[in-house]
Amino acid sequence: MKRIKLVVAYDGTNYCGWQIQPNADTVEKVLNDKLSKLLGEEIKIIGASRTDSGVHALGNVAVFDTDSTIPGDRFSYALNTLLPDDITIQDSCEVEKDFHPRHCDTRKTYEYKILNRQFPIPSKRFDSYFFTYSLDIDVMKDAAKYLVGEHDFKSFCSARTQTETTVRTIYAVDIYKRDDVVSIKVTGNGFLYNMVRIIAGTLIQAGTGHYEPIKVKEMLDSNDRTLAGPTAPPEGLTLVEIQFL
């Protein structure tokens, strides 16, 4: 028996998120089905991040145990031949038997992409949120700096969050514009339910002049979800990378 780690990329458009649930297509279900078919064993993967319905990934991580003799680095090739076009394995390797992707210290990076122009571009409709009103990037950067550091992010998570503590550390929020796409890249030690999408919704409101950047500090201090901005739609969000420390 050995434990294999997969780095998984997916276009979440047609999935009800990562986590298995009855009567729904999920990324976890597809991976379990294809791995079980490939290996002739019943495989149940453990995922690092349970991304939401419609959210994408370049580097989500999952592990599973198998008796297979396939070398760790060959699972990516073998599995990609079975997977649909909207899920691909980017890397695979054998890891320690006790490696658990949710019980490690991690550094996760998410990117939220906003297509900011007069009219939508069809080719970008699946992986960015179309927003037509002009965004002031400098104001967004000013607002974002209050989020960096260790804070209680209770105002920036959905009421559905179930965790012992809502304190998290954000290491960096980088905001930049390339062509018509504004990217908000957030790196932290962990994220609460809907946290990155609420950060994006809040920074978008700052960028349109809806409120002053300093307001973000008040939102954090209030511990009141109703004071932060709206939850931005899922199509703009991608889980870029998970580093295990």
Contact 94, 72 (CB under 8 A): yes
Least distance to its own copies from the beta carbon of 176, Å?
Answer: 14
- CB of 69 or CB of 81, closer to its own copies: 81
**Closer to its own copies at the Cβ: 14 or 223?**
14
Q: How far is the CB of 217 from its own copies (least distance, A)?
A: 34
Q: Which of 11, 25, 33, 52 is catalytic?
A: 52
Residue 136 designated active-site? no
Q: What is the CA angle 93-47-160, rounded to 5?
A: 160
Contact 89, 97 (CB under 8 A): no
- Reported as type and span, the H/E element at residue 39 is helix 27-39
Whether the CB-CB separation of 234 and 57 falls below 8 Å is answered with no
- Provide, rounded to whole angstroms, the least separation between the CB of residue 57 and its own copies: 9
88 or 222: CB nearest its own copies: 88
Distance separating alpha carbons of residues 15 and 82, to the nearest angstrom: 17
Is residue 110 a known part of a binding site? yes
Instruction: Note the Cα 122 to chain centre separation in Å.
Output: 23
Residues found near its own copies in the complex (CB under 8 A): 9-11, 56, 58, 76, 80, 85-90, 118-123, 125-127, 238
Q: Any idea which residues carry the catalytic annotation?
A: 52
Binding residues for substrate, by number, are 110
